[in-house]
Structure 1
Amino acid sequence: MELVMAADDLRTVVNRLRRAQGQIAGIIRMIEEGRDCEDVVTQLAAASRALDRAGFAIIATGLQQCLAEPESSEAPDRDQMRARLEKLFLSLA
């Protein structure tokens, strides 16, 4: 399944990923500086949520594309697509 996203959606996902990238760099600095464990874990959780949201946005776009193309909803293809989407969702769980 090819990833085709509208410019606004793509920008939103890329911004989330850049934010997570900055958070991860900050977490590395915190660890190197010997910062409080609770603060590090809080930042790890925030970075994880940012990555999850980016992943869900990409999956939602894939679902939207699948629903917009009803001619590709033949039974074997639908089952295969469902299995692929389920695997993607579970990979973020």
Structure 2
Amino acid sequence: MFSQENEMGDFYVDVKVGNADWNEGIIEISGDQGDAWKEKTIELSSITNRNQRVRFRLRGITGDSWCSDICIDDFEIHGTGMGINSARM
């Protein structure tokens, strides 16, 4: 999230475990974050166990400028103990 015009919006990662409601804003990022790569980690062990389906929802709200786009790169899931159906990612 980088904008030379300082008009960046907001980005959220929400998580849904099983049939429960969405846990909104597990990660919340607002405004210009600079042009260097940032790494964020979500620890899910406190809200899930190995037998539950986990869904991720990525939400971006653009800022007021035409150059306030948001992008995600190199998304990884670790420690599932099971295969991940990559066709559904």
Per the normalisation by structure 2, the TM-score is 0.26
**Which structure's residues are more often helix, by fraction?**
1
Tell me which structure has the larger Cα radius of gyration.
1
Specify which structure has the bigger relative contact order, considering alpha-carbon pairs within 8 angstroms and separated by 6 or more residues. 2
